[in-house]
Amino acid sequence: MALQPLAERLRPDSLDNYIGQKHLVGPSAILRQSIESGRIPSMILWGPPGVGKTTLAHIISRQQNRAFYSLSAISSGVKDVRETIDKAKRGRFFDQPNAILFIDEIHRFSKAQQDSLLGAVEQGIITLIGATTENPSFEVISPLLSRCQVYVLKSLEKEDLEELLNRALSTDLELKEKSYDIQETEAMFRYSGGDARKLLNIIELISNSAKSSSITITNKLVEEILQEHIAVYDKQGEMHYDIISAFIKSIRGSDPNGAVYWLARMLEGGEDIKFIARRLVILAAEDVGLANPNALLMANTCFDAIHKIGMPEARIILSECCIYLATSPKSNSAYEAIDSAISQVRELGDLPVPLHLRNAPTKLMKQLGYGNDYKYAHSYAGNFAEQDFLPKKISNQKFYEPQKNPQEETIRTRLAGWWKKKYGYFANK
């Protein structure tokens, strides 16, 4: 019988052995209280890979002694969902709690598949636990989402990874057959990226690659082993986030060839086309921005179109969009403007709204000066009247800075005509 992977051998069976997510399952945390009370809602566990979503579902089932059914959204259809619900219905007894139905990658379920869950969730035939790496607001239908509590799981912190490493080396029978001198952990933790499964895969590779029973773990050793065994290391799609990063950086760097290559890698690897299209919408606003405002329209149209068309033809739509974005002029001025404004809000708090900008729906408010001296732009030449629109304390602040591209040079000229002190010739002198 083949030996189970280390990640399976070390899968915890109780909350006390569960590493990470203390904000959810630590002492007195909200989800732990629900589990221990026996009153758990249907839920969506949202977080990156390898942070314990599947493990948590198993623990909930075990601690509450509930029947557990599991489906993968990749390989299951409506028929599988209905058959599983029927099994859960037949297996119920008078005082027995309802079964748990765990659906991995629930974001890949179609609307019809998600609709097939609604009745069973509403009637209490099952308690649904869905796991997703994608924002459920985008991928889970509203009627189902409204019946589920969403819990956000985070990547493991350094302390969590250290605890997991120590537990693996001290408790796993296979690993204990060798001795380990851990001189450096930086490379292990960096390559794991807060993913418990990745870290355990790395540890197992190091152990299996060792030519003696005594192993000295250094950053150099980890890097050499991972380069040598990259196919094994990535067999479960571990490079998912590295490839999407390369894709985004190729478009940001205006290389259509790199963009199309990494797009092809994702499509051939079975990546969700909606995941790719969402990233293009974000990139259109963040990296192309006001240098080509049509980019956001193109990306949004691409997102809508791939929903209607599906694969394999969706590959052409995605290709057209990523080439368009890659070959567009670039500006991150809108991204920088909002982050600068948010930083100011966090630093200075809720500064008062100037009186002339306040709404005055009552007589008392008018008597207090609300709305006084406000200049209605359309009553002035060129539909513009200079006045302060920021709180007095930051009235001279400039968050938006046009960048050097034809589109924003036009914007700068227009702003300079209106706001000479902020955008005119002497503004930055």
- Would you tell me how many other CB atoms lie within 10 Å of the CB of residue 48? 16
SS3 222: helix
Architecture of domain 240-326: Up-down Bundle (1.20)
Please report, to the nearest 10 degrees, the dihedral formed by the alpha carbons of residues 128, 133, 138, 139 taken in order.
Answer: -50
Rounded CA separation 324/294 (Å): 10
**Can you read off the two tokens belonging to residue 75?**
């390989």
Rounded CA separation 63/51 (Å): 20
**Can you read off the two tokens belonging to residue 22?**
């203390």
> Rounded to an integer, what is the distance from CA 108 to the centroid of its chain?
15
Q: 316: left (phi > 0), else alpha (psi -120 to 50), else beta? A: alpha
Residue 148, judged by CB atoms within 10 A of its CB (0-12, 13-18, 19+), counts as: buried
Rounded CA separation 141/115 (Å): 8
In this prediction, residues 247-261 reach a mean pLDDT of: 93
pLDDT in tens, 324-351: 999 999 999 999 999 999 998 988 888 8
| Alpha-carbon distance values, 18 to 11, 12, 60, 132, 192 (Å) | 8, 6, 12, 19, 18
In this prediction, residues 370-379 reach a mean pLDDT of: 82
- Mean pLDDT is lowest, of 270-279, 297-306, 354-363, 384-393, for 354-363
Site of tokens 């945390």: 29
pLDDT of residue 234: 47
> Rounded to an integer, what is the distance from CA 219 to the centroid of its chain?
29
Per-residue pLDDT for 281 more than 50? yes
Rounded CA separation 201/167 (Å): 14
Site of tokens 């998912």: 240
The mean of the pLDDT values for the chain is: 87
- One-letter amino acid of 112: A
Per-residue pLDDT for 18 more than 70? yes
CATH 3.40.50.300 in the chain, residue ranges: 21-152
- Comparing CA positions, the residue from 90, 92, 84, 91 lying closest to residue 128 is 84
* Domain spanning 158-233: CATH 1.10.8: yes
- Comparing CA positions, the residue from 371, 351, 353, 373 lying closest to residue 361 is 371
Confidence label for 232 from pLDDT (cuts 50, 70 and 90) = very low
CATH 1.10.8 in the chain, residue ranges: 158-233
Confidence label for 72 from pLDDT (cuts 50, 70 and 90) = confident
Rounded CA separation 308/46 (Å): 26
In this prediction, residues 112-125 reach a mean pLDDT of: 89
Rounded CA separation 114/327 (Å): 38
How many secondary structure helices (H) and strands (E) does the chain include?
22, 7
CATH 1.20.272.10 in the chain, residue ranges: 240-326
In this prediction, residues 359-383 reach a mean pLDDT of: 78
pLDDT in tens, 76-110: 888 888 899 998 888 776 667 889 999 998 988 88
* Domain spanning 21-152: CATH 3.40.50.1980: no
Rounded CA separation 11/322 (Å): 40
Per-residue pLDDT for 230 more than 60? no
